[in-house]
Amino acid sequence: MSMRGKIRLAAMAALVSAALVALPAYGASASTESAARDGAPDCATTWTGHDYNKWVKVRNDCGHTIRVKIVIQYNFDSECKVLKPHKTFLFRHGWGSYLDEVRAC
């Protein structure tokens, strides 16, 4: 095998192993996403996960009412949602898309 072929093979192996590490486990899952909450209040909690669709949940842990919008890459964004204290907003989006940010509106 030529040196060029070995380099291509090593690059493909690195890409495949990185993709396998990034795959979520089968079934429902959730994770807290704090980095994606750029414009949301610090007292709001955000989770992402999947079941038959991908979803984002935002819970208002503030002592006052907040307004949030979920911004999705490669799909529709949520409407501007008013959340009273201790209320949760669930937004579902498709498999080809992902959470960009949760922002105040």
Task: Report, in angstroms and rounded to the nearest whole number, the Rg of the chain calculated over CA atoms.
Answer: 18
Per cent of the chain over pLDDT 70 is 64
Q: Is residue 15 part of a domain?
A: no
Residue pair 101/71 in contact by the 8 Å Cβ criterion: yes
pLDDT at res. 20: 39
Instruction: Give the confidence band of 69 by pLDDT, cuts at 50, 70, 90.
Output: very high
The tally of domains found in the chain comes to 1
Query: Which sign, positive or negative, has the C-alpha torsion 31, 32, 37, 40?
Result: positive
pLDDT of residue 14: 52
Rounded to whole angstroms, how far apart are CA atoms 103 and 93?
A: 17
Domain residues for the domain of 48 are 26-104
| Structure confidence by residue, pLDDT tens digits, 20-37 | 334 343 334 454 444 344
Q: Does 18 map to a domain?
A: no
Confidence of residue 1 (pLDDT cuts 50, 70, 90): low
Residue 6 lies in a domain: no
The answer to whether residue 1 is domain-embedded is no
The mean of the pLDDT values for the chain is 77
Looking up residue 31, the CATH number of its domain turns out to be: 2.60.40
